[in-house]
Amino acid sequence: MKLKIPTEILAAYNPEKFKEDATKVIEMLHHYLVETSNGDFKTVLPKASPEEVLSKWSEIKETQDGFEMIDNLIKESQHIHNARYVGHQVTAPLPFSAVNGIVSSLLNNSTAVFEMSPVDTIMQKRVVEWMCEKIGYGSNSDGVLTSGGTIGNLTALLAARQVKGSNVWKEGIGNKKLAVLVSELSHYSIERAVAIMGMGTDSVFKLPVKPDSKIDTAQIESVFNSAVKKGYTPIALVANAASTATGCYDEFIHLADFCEGNNLWFHVDGAHGASAAVSKKYFPLLNGIERADSIVWDMHKMMLMPALVTGVLFKEGDDTYNTFLQEASYLFNNDPRSEWFNYAHRTLECTKDMMGMRPYISLKTYGEDFFEKYIDYSFDLTKYFSEAINNSSDFELAVPTESNIICFRYNDGVNNSDDLQKEVRKRILASEKFYLVQTNLFGKTYMRCTIINPLTEFDHLLELLDLIRMEVKNIVGGNK
């Protein structure tokens, strides 16, 4: 009997239908960009509770028109391309990189092994080479691209433990008490990675920060000694470039000196701020980073890429083979070092997105200068914003601003409580005019902005301050 492909499948794979569908979707996305960029599209985050959204989106078994769903999805989603999006560190991606995304979704070359993705594998290698060079690493350096900073930090810490903590991969953690010293302002993914690695969160020793939110280098030795006193062997120190909460950079030269003097692996979490490497003006924030054994750098934060593209870079390229010492004869034949082109040897993922092509094509199409202009613009703009806050009598900054993350609170000398900051943010979100977030620092609540959208201008930020003032007036005056 001759088995026939069902007609529905043939219709879905019809190239003409693809062209028609793609054209319609591009029209819709064009409309989204026009509305967010010309100011008519005022809504940043449409106000709706999880329950309201749940009730709008019916169960899978009820069929629905695909274009209607895409149209609603666009309308009801977070509108990151709106210039008034100043929230978490998620970028408004370069539209061209979204176009690349159509290509990767259709080609779907999994980058586990070269044979499955010959071109993207090489693009990943070229992107990693470029990142290492920008950081200031030497010719021995190497690394991988992986799915996000969280997995990136885990990948780097696994290598650190293998190098500094004996052969845990084979022998297990057993009763080894290995410790990691981390900035008290490190991203939660660091502690999570240590817990995933079976070391327990008790093995995370927090390094206190100074009032400027940078690791207090004068206190490292006592934290190190207290870990040793408790029977731990410290294996690594993790610093921030920059801290998620404040956007400030640790002082890498001092930290590298300490690590070298105490046989510690030095890891820099540069998920957000390693992109300063493309800017001549802001590169000095990274001074000494090239002495780190490993660095994580997210391109989906400050390099305008859609999620997810993360570089995990190693000063000694050989260390990238220490992360996962897995054997899998159906995928690999040889010693991993002779198969640099089979990236699954060195990444948590097996099947992986074609994540080389987006940065590779965007960097070559627009040129490095384009990205330098973006970093300079967003860091400069945040500096202007921080000056406006400093010069006002009713706002205060948490710490001096160094990058494009800024924390501030309303304080006119009378009205300055934590509850006030929280209520103001809640009302602004309800107005749908801006999206900003909040954080707790040094025991106080601050409003927090990441000026990450390349289309945000100074006037938008002044408008935000005025909106906050208006909401404070409403709250103090008892208006709903």
Ligand X SMILES: Cc1ncc(COP(=O)(O)O)c(C=O)c1O
Nearer to ligand X, 142 or 269 (CB): 269
Nearer to ligand X, 97 or 342 (CB): 97
> Interface mask (CB under 6 A) for ligand X, residues 393-422, using x and -?
------------------------------
Q: Does 298 bind ligand X (CB under 6 A)?
A: yes
Q: Does 35 bind ligand X (CB under 6 A)?
A: no
Torsion region of 88: left, alpha or beta (phi above 0 gives left; psi -120 to 50 gives alpha)? beta
Least distance (Å) between residue 393 CB and ligand X: 32
Interactions with ligand X, residue window 221-260 (CB under 6 A): 240, 244
Rg of the chain in Å (alpha carbons): 24
- Distance in angstroms (rounded) separating the CA atoms of residues 44 and 433: 6
- Distance in angstroms (rounded) separating the CA atoms of residues 146 and 183: 23
Contacting residues for 74 by C-beta, under 8 A, at least 6 apart = 28, 29, 32
Q: Does 189 bind ligand X (CB under 6 A)?
A: yes
> Do the Cβ atoms of 111 and 356 come closer than 8 Å?
yes
- Distance in angstroms (rounded) separating the CA atoms of residues 337 and 345: 9
Interactions with ligand X, residue window 80-99 (CB under 6 A): 89
**Sole binder of ligand X in the list 134, 272, 448, 460 (CB under 6 A):** 272
- Distance in angstroms (rounded) separating the CA atoms of residues 312 and 130: 12
Nearer to ligand X, 272 or 345 (CB): 272
Nearer to ligand X, 199 or 405 (CB): 405
Q: Does 353 bind ligand X (CB under 6 A)?
A: no
Interactions with ligand X, residue window 134-173 (CB under 6 A): 148-150
3-state SS class at 310: strand
Which residue is at the shortest CB distance from ligand X? 149
> Do the Cβ atoms of 224 and 234 come closer than 8 Å?
yes
Nearer to ligand X, 269 or 339 (CB): 269
Q: Does 187 bind ligand X (CB under 6 A)?
A: yes
The residue range among 23-31, 98-106, 265-273, 387-395 that interacts with ligand X, by the rule CB under 6 A, is 265-273
Structure tokens at 263: 């046989």
Structure tokens at 473: 């007036």
- Distance in angstroms (rounded) separating the CA atoms of residues 205 and 425: 33
Contacting residues for 52 by C-beta, under 8 A, at least 6 apart = none
Least distance (Å) between residue 297 CB and ligand X: 10
Nearer to ligand X, 296 or 420 (CB): 296
- Distance in angstroms (rounded) separating the CA atoms of residues 169 and 329: 18
Least distance (Å) between residue 273 CB and ligand X: 8
Q: What angle do CA 11, 21, 109 make, to 5 degrees?
A: 80
Least distance (Å) between residue 380 CB and ligand X: 21
Least distance (Å) between residue 294 CB and ligand X: 13
Give the footprint of ligand X on this chain (CB under 6 A): 89, 148-150, 187, 189, 240, 244, 269, 271-272, 298, 308, 310
